[in-house]
Amino acid sequence: MELPANPIKKWRLFEGDKVIWMVLFFLGMISIIEVYSASSNMSYKSGNFWWPVLQHGSYFLVGVGATILIHKLHCKYFKLIPIFGLPLSLIMLVVVMFMPKVNNASRWLWGFQPSEIAKGVLIVTTAMILSSMRDEKGAKKSAFKVVMCITVLICGLIAPENFSTAGMTFLVILMMMYVGRIPAKQLGTLVGVLAVVGSMTYCFLRFTPEPTIRSISELPGLHRVETWASRLRGGGDKPENPADYDITKNPQVAHAQIAIATCNVIGKGPGNSVERDFLPQSFSDFIYAIVIEELGLFGAFIVMFLYVVLLFRAARIASRCERNFPAFLVMGISLMLVTQALINMAVAVGVFPVTGQPLPLISKGGTSTLINCAYLGVILSVSRSAKKKEPAAVVEEVEQTAETL
């Protein structure tokens, strides 16, 4: 009886793109180190120095387990997600609106955020629509209408409680439609409408008197308007004399900038942060500022580089897929992770209004850690199980793209 050439190969635990696995490993190690350092306040309040990092480490290990399980699935089974996930997401997003508010927002339902699940379901649904409703020129005009109807519905339910997540998800879907070759006229019209509406909304929130904003925030579904206006205004104009700056008006941005300014290029070293004791959400929304303070500019570059590698590897996986669905799915998930990371970094360094978006796979958080690990599992599943294009087909596609450019 002839034995297989390599009988151990079929039992390998980690399959798929090796670079993606390495990105997950390094982001996880950085996460555990920085969360351990940034959670000093939580440790002091709880009286247990190890509890915050042990909790986060447990979530990360469970997330890696989810990555392993999901990446063993064939990517064709992800087409079932919209059938069950879309109605379930809509129900959860409606139910969460009636849950008790925390920080003037209802985002949590039984210990997790439905918006995290809903945006993933929306990406899978969009990938399926773009792959099924197309012809030789690209996506059909009807695909744009279907995608927009579902996107507006999902993002519309997310927006009242978490506008930044809704806006980011809408942006990712817009990029997916561009990658899916939605007709340029439809995309151009949408971008123009968004530019006009966005400019009007910005001007309204930025320059409307505070009493008017306060009265509008009392209307049903608009209770977060005052928070949005406050974040856009950034605590008011900065005084010319730094000594006159009131750090209490916008402590998150102020302490994040202090952390970055005092990194001395090379950083203070892991565990030596000072601003972690003063910076609200130092272990979550503003953990990138702590990374810069402790690891310096080189550490900040490494973190950013890992996300760029993730995007490029995902693009490489997508370009090798023979079918459209896995290609669009990989690009949508990677764009979402990288876009969220860039927004978090921009907020930490003070070039973007505060959004409350965590840094994927680094910030402390149970729901986000588990969901983001699951997203990487999907990418790895596609890299492992999706049918690959023949080399000649890849070369031909590259040549056609070059001629188009």
> Residue 43: which pLDDT band, with cuts at 50, 70 and 90?
low
> Residue 6: which pLDDT band, with cuts at 50, 70 and 90?
very low
By mean pLDDT, which of 10-14, 171-175, 341-345 is the weakest? Answer: 10-14
**What pLDDT digit, counting tens, does each position of 268-305 carry?**
888 788 877 777 777 777 888 888 888 888 989 999 99
Determine contact, residues 330/323, Cβ cutoff 8 Å: no
Structure tokens at 355: 């959004």
CA angle 340, 344, 347 (to 5 degrees): 140
Higher pLDDT, 136 or 60: 60
Instruction: Please determine, for residue 4, whether its predicted confidence score (pLDDT) is greater than 50.
Output: no
What is the end-to-end Cα distance of the chain in Å, rounded?
A: 56
Query: How many other C-beta atoms are found inside a 10 Å radius of the C-beta of residue 160?
Result: 18
Instruction: Please determine, for residue 147, whether its predicted confidence score (pLDDT) is greater than 50.
Output: yes
Quick one: pLDDT at residue 401?
A: 46
Determine contact, residues 24/263, Cβ cutoff 8 Å: no
109: phi then psi, degrees, rounded to nearest 5: -135, 105
**What pLDDT digit, counting tens, does each position of 12-38 carry?**
777 888 999 999 999 999 988 888 887
Q: Which of 289, 281, 299, 307 is nearest to 361 (CA)?
A: 307
3-state secondary structure of 388: strand
Q: Which of 248, 245, 247, 210 is nearest to 227 (CA)?
A: 210
Name beta bridge partners: 48: none
* CA 206/CA 224 separation, integer angstroms: 14
Question: Look-up: residue for tokens 């997003």?
Answer: 93
| Residues contacting residue 379 through CB under 8 Å, at least 6 positions apart | 16, 17, 20, 314, 317, 330, 333, 334
Determine contact, residues 133/139, Cβ cutoff 8 Å: yes
Quick one: pLDDT at residue 405?
A: 42
Structure tokens at 58: 């447990």
Instruction: Please determine, for residue 69, whether its predicted confidence score (pLDDT) is greater than 80.
Output: yes
Out of 50-54, 57-61, 304-308, give the one with best mean pLDDT.
304-308
Higher pLDDT, 396 or 296: 296
* CA 16/CA 235 separation, integer angstroms: 47
For every residue of 216-279, DSSP letters joined together read HTTSTT-TTHHHHHHHHHTTSPPPSSGGG--TTSSHHHHHHHHHHHTSTTT-S-TT--SGGGTS
Of all residues in the chain, what percent are helix, strand and coil, respectively (each to 5)? Answer: 70, 0, 30
% of the chain surpassing 90 pLDDT: 25
Structure tokens at 78: 């992800």
| Residues contacting residue 30 through CB under 8 Å, at least 6 positions apart | 291, 299, 302, 303, 362
Instruction: Say what the pTM is.
Output: 0.85
> What's at 281, amino acid-wise?
Q
* CA 90/CA 346 separation, integer angstroms: 30
By mean pLDDT, which of 270-274, 282-286, 364-368, 390-394 is the weakest? Answer: 390-394
> Residue 228: which pLDDT band, with cuts at 50, 70 and 90?
confident
From the number of C-beta atoms within 10 Å of its C-beta (0-12, 13-18, 19+), residue 166 rates as buried
Determine contact, residues 280/247, Cβ cutoff 8 Å: no
Query: How many other C-beta atoms are found inside a 10 Å radius of the C-beta of residue 33?
Result: 17
> Residue 152: which pLDDT band, with cuts at 50, 70 and 90?
very high
Quick one: pLDDT at residue 7?
A: 44
Instruction: Please determine, for residue 11, whether its predicted confidence score (pLDDT) is greater than 70.
Output: no
> Residue 3: which pLDDT band, with cuts at 50, 70 and 90?
very low
Quick one: pLDDT at residue 394?
A: 47
Average pLDDT over residues 55-73: 90
